[in-house]
Amino acid sequence: MTERSSSGEAVTDPKLSVTGLEKTFDGITAVDGVSFDVQAGEMTGLIGPNGAGKSTTFNCITNLIEPDAGSVVFDGQDVTGLPTHRVARTGLVRTFQIARELREMTVLENMMVSSKEQTESAIHAVTPGLRENVRTEEEAILEQAWETLEFFDIEHVAHEYAGTLSGGQRKLLELARALMADPDMLLLDEPFAGVNPTLEERLLDRLHALTDQGYTFLIVEHDIDLIMNNCVRVLVMHQGQLLAEGAPETVRDDERVIDAYLGGEAAQ
Query: Cα(166)–Cα(85) distance, rounded to whole angstroms?
Result: 28
pTM for this model (two decimals): 0.83
Give alpha helix (H) positions in 7-127.
54-61, 84-89, 107-113, 122-126
**Three-class SS of residue 56?**
helix
Task: Give the pLDDT confidence of 22-49 residue by residue, as tens digits.
Answer: 999 999 999 999 999 999 999 999 999 8
Query: Cα(26)–Cα(13) distance, rounded to whole angstroms?
Result: 36
- The band of 260, judged by pLDDT with boundaries at 50, 70 and 90, is confident
Domains of the chain plus CATH, in order, are 2-101+179-267 (3.40.50.300), 102-164 (no CATH)
Could you give the angle at the alpha carbon of 203 between the alpha carbons of 98 and 79, nearest 5°? 60
pLDDT > 80? residue 218? yes
Partners of 185 in the β-ladder: 92, 216
- The band of 70, judged by pLDDT with boundaries at 50, 70 and 90, is very high
Task: Give the pLDDT confidence of 124-173 residue by residue, as tens digits.
Answer: 444 555 455 556 778 889 999 999 999 998 999 999 999 999 888 888 99
Task: Select from 106, 85, 100 the least CA-distant residue to 171.
Answer: 100
Which residues, at least 6 apart from 204, have a Cβ–Cβ distance to it below 8 Å?
A: 226, 230
Main-chain phi, psi angles of 226, to 5 degrees: -60, -45
Query: Cα(230)–Cα(68) distance, rounded to whole angstroms?
Result: 33
What is the pLDDT, as a whole number, of residue 115? Answer: 82
Cα–Cα distances (Å) from 21 to 218, 221, 222, in that order, read 16, 20, 22
pLDDT > 50? residue 264? no
